[in-house]
Amino acid sequence: MTARAFALFGTAIGTCAIAWGTRGVVWIQLPQDDEGAARRRAFRKFPEAAETLAPPGVDLAIRDIARLMAGEPADLSRIALDMSGVPDFNRQVYAIAREIPPGETLTYGAIAKRLGDVTLARAVGVALGQNPFPIVVPCHRVLAANGKTGGFSARGGVATKMRMLSIERARTGAAPTLFDAIGGLPLAAGR
């Protein structure tokens, strides 16, 4: 996959980058500490690409990603992704991951089961670790067995994954959250 251009954009958790070509988005960079770090990483990934203003479709993707990272509803399913350089197995994994709504999670094993072979859980993890479209292909919504976080290759590692899940109000363990009900009463209401 080649990128013609890229743009930087801010989110609630840091500066991201997005690169695109003629077929759609080819790469999204998870948040970096600052614009300089984000820009350097984008140029290392796509040295031939120019930093420029995003065209309308990519600009909409940027706004939706930023909205989601601020905890607001956003539909990322409409973002066109150029998967021409993505292996077929990874495409299948990404298609399933894209179906996970904000606030929900799946396990690597559940995705493997949907692919028809529960022994593929580790391969699912490898595919998600190679994900060039994080946030749009929400690899952060995929957990290990028993609610364990599993890995995350973004800056900040698992802490970034958990922060993204927290923003989306995802339940990542068996303990009730402030917004769960016990005996019909929300915990936040008190007694």
Longest CA–CA separation in the chain, Å: 62
Count other Cβ atoms within 10 Å, centred on residue 163. 17
- 139 belongs to the catalytic site: yes
Question: Which of 26, 110, 135, 139 does the annotation list as catalytic?
Answer: 139
Q: What is the 3-state secondary structure (H, E, C) of 119-151?
A: HHHHHHHHHHHCCCCECCECHHHEECHHHCCCC
Tokens describing residue 129: 């670790």
Query: Burial code of 82-105, b = ≥16 C-beta within 10 A, e = fewer?
Result: bbeebeeebebbbebbbebebeeb
Residues in Cβ contact with 53 at an 8 Å cutoff, skipping those fewer than 6 apart: 7, 59
The residues carrying an active-site annotation are 139
